[in-house]
């Protein structure tokens, strides 16, 4: 957000129980960041579940939520779970545009890495 809106970012941070941080990225804009899976699970997801989105972003949030819950509850992550995460999340936000490798290449890379272990 524009640096002039830092007070708004501070209010958002308060809304999320003061977790995360506000960072000035350049002299012209700042961002609010949440750090770590615990903050996502304990603060962001409960808030979003109580304040649902009613737009295309709702689909993206549902994917984000599902992946976050998999990451927080499934230890260790099996190859199958990693592939499930790729299947869920790869096309979110711009249908996979701006990705360095395509989904098939990514899954093949995961399989290769797992075969080495």
pLDDT in tens, 27-42: 788 899 999 999 999 9
CA distances from 40 to 7, 18, 26, 63, 102 (A): 22, 13, 25, 13, 27
Residue 30 shares a structural domain with residue 41: no
Q: Which residue has the higher pLDDT, 39 or 93?
A: 39
**Domain limits at 13?**
1-35
**pLDDT of amino acid 37:** 95
pLDDT in tens, 94-109: 666 677 888 899 899 9
Least confident residue range of 24-28, 44-48, 53-57, 83-87: 24-28
Q: Report the predicted TM-score, pTM, of the whole model to 2 decimal places.
A: 0.81
Residue 21 shares a structural domain with residue 69: no
Residue 104 shares a structural domain with residue 49: yes
**pLDDT of amino acid 27:** 77
């Amino acid at each position: 957000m524009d640096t002039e809106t830092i007070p708004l970012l501070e209010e958002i941070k308060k809304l999320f129980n003061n977790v995360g941080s506000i960072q000035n990225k350049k002299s012209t804009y700042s961002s609010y960041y949440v750090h770590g899976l615990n903050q996502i699970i304990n603060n962001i997801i409960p808030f979003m579940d109580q304040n649902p989105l009613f737009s295309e972003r709702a689909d993206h949030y549902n994917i984000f939520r599902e992946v976050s819950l998999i990451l927080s509850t499934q230890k260790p992550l099996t190859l199958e779970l990693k592939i499930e995460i790729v299947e869920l999340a790869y096309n979110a936000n711009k249908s996979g545009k701006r990705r360095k490798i395509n989904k098939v290449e990514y899954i093949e890379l995961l399989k290769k890495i797992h075969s080495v272990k």
